[in-house]
Amino acid sequence: MLPPTIPTSFVPHSASATSRRSATDFVGIFGFISYIVLCIVFVLAIGIFFYGRILSTDKVAKDAELAQAQAAIDPATIEEFVRLRDRLSSGETLLANHTAFSGFFSSLSTLIPTTIRFSSMHLSMNDAGTVNFDGSGVAKSFNALAAASLTFSQDGRIKDAIFSNITIDSKDNSVSFTLSSSLDPKLIAFSPKESITTPSMPIATSTATTTP
């Protein structure tokens, strides 16, 4: 006689039942994940909605502030600022094209030895913007002219300096000369810094003119 714990018969489970159980578990997990994703999307949608409302409210407030600021602007004040801007622009244009000799005289007084004096000067500018300088004067010695020529070549702003018509006075050995050269256009351009300082040069009698 068999013990009571051992069944007298049993029915084996089919493979299809096991497959159905596995498929049911997979569908349940997929459904759970889908619910989580749906909740996240729902929360994001609510956040975007409220953020849009906040931006809309802020835009309305900014528009009201802008309209208030525009209403407070005085048209006469705007016209005054526009005229001031136009005057400043015109002044800047005029100053940029203004010819001033202070820069040239200041540089010349620095570069040329004190033993050289000019009796006349002539500045001219052609249509191409090339500035030419011609002058005549007296130097204490020939060495002073050589020193001036070397200084001009090293500086580079007074270009192609040529001393000619050199005559030595037999009484005091002074040297008369004429000088011709071309100038850097920046030397005769207006500069507020140069306009404040008045240079001093060893010039006996000088004339400076421009020929357009």
- pLDDT tens across 54-104, in order? 888 888 888 888 888 877 777 788 888 888 888 888 777 766 666 667 777
Mean pLDDT, range 119-131, rounded to an integer = 79
C-alpha span between 137 and 119 (Å, rounded) = 5
- Examine the pLDDT at 10 and tell me if it is beyond 70: no
What pLDDT is stored for residue 23 in this prediction? 52
Give the pLDDT confidence score for residue 202 in this predicted structure: 42
For the stretch 16-44, pLDDT in tens is: 544 555 555 666 777 778 888 888 888 88
C-alpha–C-alpha distance, residues 163 and 150, integer Å? 12
Q: pLDDT per residue over 150-200, tens digit each?
A: 888 888 888 888 888 888 888 888 888 898 888 877 777 666 554 444 444
Query: pLDDT band for position 208 (50/70/90)?
Result: very low
Q: Which two tokens stand for residue 131?
A: 């500035």
Q: Does residue 80 or residue 128 have the better pLDDT?
A: 80
Alpha-carbon span 149 to 112, nearest angstrom: 9
Q: Which residue did the predictor score with more confidence, 175 or 1?
A: 175
Q: Sheet holding 175-183: strands in order across?
A: 116-125, 131-139, 175-183, 158-168
Token pair recorded at residue 6? 């051992």
Mean of all residue pLDDT scores within the chain: 75
pTM over 0.75: no
**Is the confidence at residue 7, as pLDDT, over 80?**
no
Which CATH class for the 102-196 domain?
Answer: alpha beta
| 210, 124 contact by CB (below 8 A) | yes
Q: Is residue 201 pLDDT above 60, yes or no?
A: no
**Closest listed residue to residue 99, CA positions, set 186, 201, 9:** 186
- Angle between helix axes 102-111 and 142-155 (nearest 10 degrees) is 120
